[in-house]
Amino acid sequence: MVDNDTIMENGRCIECGAMETDGLSCHEMFHFPLVWEHNDPELYALHFWLVSCYMIQHPSNYTEEGYKLQVKLFTDAYDHQWGTDYILRKNRELVAKAGKITNPLPNRQRKRSFKPWSMTIEDLYRGGEENAIGGIQKWRDAVRADIGK
């Protein structure tokens, strides 16, 4: 299965390892919490973490430098407990210095490699909207721990 941003083989994402759930790829599952955010300002406050967790687990979306910058921003924000406004300001600064951080190659031409993650979008999606805030917080913690390995 191929959608615009994900390649699933044998029911698994070839980058993050998330299992196809309810017939959805990991990228399709990612759209659900993006919609849920619009129903809950507390959930929307975690938008940076939601997007960062997903994108860090799919490095093919970035240039090599862009990926390193995303991981650095994530780890600095996590380790120093930065607030959302500060995170967004730092993100704008990093992108302005780096220029283009997203991968310019068409989806099918991108190099992908599998890395096991202790939690993926599949876990957040399965937990449902009512558990999304706690799910994103757990995912953020898991990604930080996995990056440190």
Q: What residues have CB less than 8 Å from 78, skipping those under 6 apart? A: 140, 144
pLDDT confidence of residue 1: 47
Dig out the tokens for 50 from the structure: 């939601």
Domain ranges, residue 142: 8-103+113-147
Domain-embedded: residue 108 = no
pLDDT at 74 over 60: yes
pLDDT confidence of residue 2: 45
On whether the pTM is more than 0.75, the answer is: yes
pLDDT confidence of residue 4: 56
Domain-embedded: residue 2 = no
What's the total number of domains in the chain? 1
Domain-embedded: residue 130 = yes
Please give the Cα distance from 34 to 51 (Å, whole number).
9
What is the three-class DSSP state of 13?
strand
Average pLDDT, the chain: 91
Q: How confident is the model at residue 96 (pLDDT cuts 50, 70, 90)?
A: confident
Domain-embedded: residue 38 = yes
pLDDT confidence of residue 149: 65
The tens digit of pLDDT for each residue in 109-118 reads 888 989 999 9
Average pLDDT over residues 24-52: 95
pLDDT confidence of residue 103: 85
Please give the Cα distance from 131 to 135 (Å, whole number).
6
Average pLDDT over residues 101-105: 84
Domain-embedded: residue 1 = no
Domain-embedded: residue 95 = yes
Domain-embedded: residue 3 = no
